[in-house]
Amino acid sequence: MASFQGIAWLLQEPKTTFYSPRYNQEPLSVRRQVLPFWMQPQIVLQLGQTEYIVLNSRPADATKRSGDAKETKKLIELTVRPLDDVRRAQLYQTAARTQVLEVFVEVEPTRERLLRCLRGEEVVDPGKKLLDDAFAALEKAQQSRDKKTSIELYKEAGEASGRLKSC
């Protein structure tokens, strides 16, 4: 199961004096996967049709790349190894090559969520958490024998659903 799915723009050619940077829009997903040659689950990034093992991820300043100050907080720099290359390196006892990818996302909160996933931190969708909280409050209200407590729990569930609409 993917812990993050979205769209990203992969840098194909950096900005030069005469040309703007060129990007390809790619579907992106991040998941944890146990591989036969590692004991710990690894962070696997699928960008387009290619899968990578993520070695390092960090936010980067996009202003230098695009020249647009509004793009500052949308770039992520990833140090990765192609998964096929890692498998081949394990099989033939050769060195696996690393590469650096620069990926743009639409907005800063998306970048923060993606970075948390790439670092292996558990990401909880705020909408799902609010929904779970609302259902938990409703369940408690239905099981409560005290009328006053039930009413308070129903109100709490209503407030949680109101916050859900604003997400």
pLDDT in tens, 45-65: 999 899 999 988 888 876 665
137 and 114 share one domain: no
99 with 74, same domain: the answer is: yes
Looking at the whole model, is its pTM more than 0.75?
no
Residues 76 and 108 in one domain: yes
87 falls in which pLDDT band (50, 70, 90)?
confident
Highest mean pLDDT, choosing among 27-41, 108-122, 133-147: 27-41
* 86 and 144 in a common domain: no
Same domain flag for 139 and 159: yes
Q: By percentage, how much of the chain surpasses pLDDT 90?
A: 5
Query: Which domain range does residue 150 map to?
Result: 126-166
Mean pLDDT value across residues 65-82:
74
Q: What's the CA gap between 117 and 156, in Å, rounded?
A: 30
Report the chain's mean pLDDT, rounded to a whole number.
78
Q: What is the full DSSP assignment across 53-110?
A: EEEEEEEE-THHHHS-GGGGGGEEEEEEEEHHHHHHHHHHT-PPP-EEEEEE-SSHHH
pLDDT of 167 reads: 46
Is residue 75 pLDDT above 60, yes or no?
Answer: yes
